[in-house]
Chain A
Amino acid sequence: METFLYKLFYDTGALIDGWHAAANAAGAARGWPPLVVDILFQLGWAVAAALFLALNALFIIWFERKVAAKMQLRRGPNRVGPFGLLQTLADTGKLLIKEDIIPTAADRPVFRAAPFVVLAATVLLFVVLPFGKGLIPADLNIGVVYFLAISGISVIGILSGGWASNNKYSLMGGMRSAAQIVSYEVPGVLVVLSVAMLAGSLKMGDIVRAQPSYGYALLQPVGFILFLIASNAEINRGPFDLPEADSELVSGFVTEYSAMRFAFFFLAEYTNLFLAGAFATTLFLGGWRGPLLPPVVWFLLKSYIVVFVLIWIRWTFPRLRVDHLMEFSWKVLLPLALLNLLVTAVLVKVL
């Protein structure tokens, strides 16, 4: 039953390795250095990731608006395309042709660079995502550490965006966001550490393989909830959307941005939402493992369930005040994360 289709869905990794070996052989025959083929393959991965990112962003924005609408007894987008599916496409098109204003007193180079820094930090994270068995662009042995490090870069973009707009509201929005991400990164890292300890490795692929098929969530319920809260805060969403708290700071650090630059921030925010879901799936819900369905489908399904929960939380709760936000992280999440780490360590030692 090693038909092509089966391999395509169920063992994509082996298929790609096959192509890679064939390409190497062809390259060597033509006297190319092996590096050329590797670069070509990496380019392939990059294009695939970019394509996935674009499609996913369009879908997830529509998904959030539809789910939010359903929870609020209304319809949500239904004008553009069937069930409003093309609505996000229309919005992106609109943003493309709108005038891109840069405030005169703005710090121009930083103002222009900020959105790209945030977007770059988001796109780089796709490198280590285990979409399926073997379907990992680069299964770095420090995958988890890489993920946490790169996701920290986006705060630089937000801060510089807030500063460059030379507007009091944006400055406060940027500062708040930086403080928030830093203080929620700490409990997040500790929880990820306890999962890595359970799995015994930092490689994303290994973590997924080491998990029982139902995932670590049942072994680490507290860890799972902590991780959801921490990642929710890190992407400035839900009860933690202080930086763009409309009623206090108009719209935080994105106040002065318009058209395409604003679209980049917006795109980054929703891709981060998916990444939070994907990372939670990898660490706690058993990644692409699951009966019957092909691994990629499992991975996406589980990610979108986590995304649904994050959307659900956002449209139910009011916003936290900035000092509660800090207190909650340092005085509640951190102790719980440490406790969780301790318990896991003891369990791992004992079992």
Chain B
Amino acid sequence: MSDPTTPTGGRASPATAQASAGTSDEFLLNVGPQHPATHGVLRVVVTMDGEVVKDLQPHLGYVHRGLEKLFENRTYEQIIPFTDRTDYLSAIANNWAYVMAVEKLLGMEVPKKVEYIRVLMAELNRINSHLLWLAAYGLDMGAFTPFLYAFRDREEINTMIEEASGGRLTTNYFRIGGFIHDLPPAFFPRLKKFLGRFGRAVDELDTLLVENAIFVARTRGVGIISRERAISYGMSGPCLRASDAPLDLRREAPYSIYGSLEFEIPAGRNGDTWDRSWVRIEEMRQSLRILRQAMDGFPEGEHRVRAPRNIEPPAGEVYSAVEGPRGEVGFYVVSDGTRKPYRVKMRKPSFSNFSALPEIMRGLKIADLVAVMGSLDLVVPEIDR
């Protein structure tokens, strides 16, 4: 049984050497790190038997920047811009989780209006992230047109967020205690127009891709993970809810004003790739409902609590989590009374969602790898941090 020549140049990295003990007709396929289907820099070494996947070894760390080490050398305020760079598609969710943690440490209550702005921003960001997932997923599955329609709608959301925060993806809009700038006057008219139009746009995208016969044939019953295994892998967000588990932090551990808003939690039936796609489409519709309620009930008031200029929370620790587009985004902040945190642990959804891939993929075909990976909606910097 000859050791297949490892595709990673001379040095056989431990993973490939270990996985090459298979029979002779197997061969190793290197997917990544520069592969269109990996949404970022991530390498997967797939041991294949013909077209069927036998085993899958992910290689991580290409985008590891040691953010948790950086945080230990920066003040609480300087950390905020870094949080939206761990997951550039849901910068708002990350900002919120971190800022809420520090506010809890300070025992700070934020005005009602700030909570409403945060909900508005978070739900817009959720739709934005799901739209990009749909665009990239369509591309992976060979349908190029949904990409363009999804980005047309994304552009409208990005403009709204940009007018409020100044940034489109890495917004850095949240501050400890509220916001520097209130919502611009043009925000609500634009939002009203968007809410009026977007319902039909989601139906259009849904029909074009998720309901399409070829897409259904490639995703129904493919890449199934049961509810127990999903919870054991620590999965969260649409990937977990697809396995017949309507578990959403906005319901399980309601934060901010989600307790008083009405919306439903879509859940799949058998945890396959199609259910994960359906859940995201349905979540976009639910976000519209939330946005409408937040817009109607938007209170008057201050958009910021006067926080002290040097933030020095008392010694202690807190974990605060938010339901990001990909799942539970949590910050475990340990403070020691100085201006810099003692330790910040970031709990990121893609890290756990991705760890379930080897189990999901065993026995499926290589073409399914693209379908399954796309349905997990991975953002690689979130895995490596």
Contacts and interface: CB of A to CB of B under 8 A. Distances in A.
B367 interface: yes
B36 interface: yes
Interface in B1-57: 27, 29, 35-37, 51
Q: What is the size category of the interface that chain A forms with chain B?
A: 20 to 34
A321 B218 contact: yes
Interface stretch (B70-78, B139-147, B237-245, B251-259): B139-147
B214 A320 contact: yes
B209 interface: yes
B139 A247 contact: yes
Nearest to B368: A321
B208 A247 contact: no
B311 interface: no
Interface stretch (A67-75, A122-130, A282-290): A67-75
B304 interface: no
A323 B367 CA distance: 10
A73 B144 CA distance: 12
A68 B145 CA distance: 8
Nearest to A239: B214
Interface in A223-257: 239, 241, 245-248, 250
B249 interface: no
Contact of B212 (A68, A248, A315, A317): A317
B218 A73 contact: no
Q: Tell me if A's interface is mostly helix, strand, loop or mixed.
A: loop
Contacts, number: 70
Most buried by A among B142, B214, B218: B142
A315 B143 CA distance: 7
A316 B145 contact: yes
B372 to A, nearest CB: 12
A239 B152 contact: no
Contacts of A318: 138, 141-143, 209, 212, 214-215, 218
A102 to B, nearest CB: 20
A15 B208 CA distance: 51
B149 to A, nearest CB: 7
Nearest to B373: A247
Q: What is the size category of the interface that chain B forms with chain A?
A: 20 to 34
A250 B370 CA distance: 12
Contacts of A316: 143, 145, 208
Contacts of B143: 316-319
A64 to B, nearest CB: 12
Interface in B211-245: 212, 214-215, 217-218
A313 B176 CA distance: 52
A220 B144 CA distance: 32
A331 interface: no
A168 interface: yes
B365 interface: yes
Nearest to B215: A318
B45 to A, nearest CB: 13
B148 A73 contact: yes
Contact of A245 (B27, B138, B142): B142
Given A73-B148, A74-B148, A246-B36, A322 B365 contact: yes
Contacts of A248: 37, 366-367, 369-370
Contacts of B36: 246-247, 250
Most buried by B among A68, A241, A319, A321: A321
Most buried by A among B217, B218, B367, B370: B367
Contacts of B368: 321
B51 A322 contact: yes
A166 to B, nearest CB: 12
Contacts of B37: 247-248
Contact of A315 (B141, B145, B369): B145
Contacts of B141: 247, 318-319
A83 to B, nearest CB: 20
Contact of B367 (A74, A168, A239, A322): A322
Contact of B145 (A71, A239, A241): A71
Most buried by B among A73, A239, A317: A317
Interface in A151-171: 168
A237 B276 CA distance: 28
A323 B365 contact: yes
A319 B142 contact: yes
Most buried by B among A73, A247, A322: A247
A8 B148 CA distance: 46
A241 B142 contact: yes
Contacts of A250: 35-36
A323 B369 CA distance: 14
A318 B212 CA distance: 8
Contacts of B35: 250
Contacts of A321: 217-218, 365, 367-368
B214 A319 contact: yes
A349 interface: no
A246 B214 CA distance: 17
A30 interface: no
Nearest to A168: B29
Contact of B27 (A72, A168, A315, A323): A168
A322 B371 CA distance: 13
A68 B143 CA distance: 12
A324 interface: yes
10 contacts: A72-B148, A74-B148, A248-B369, A248-B370, A318-B141, A318-B212, A318-B215, A318-B218, A319-B143, A320-B217
Interface of B: 27, 29, 35-37, 51, 138-145, 148-149, 152, 208-209, 212, 214-215, 217-218, 365-370
Which 5 A-B residue pairs are closest in the complex by CB-CB distance?
A: A319-B142, A72-B148, A318-B143, A318-B141, A247-B37
Given A68-B144, A72-B144, A317-B143, 9 more contacts: A73-B148, A74-B148, A168-B29, A247-B36, A247-B140, A248-B366, A248-B367, A248-B370, A318-B142
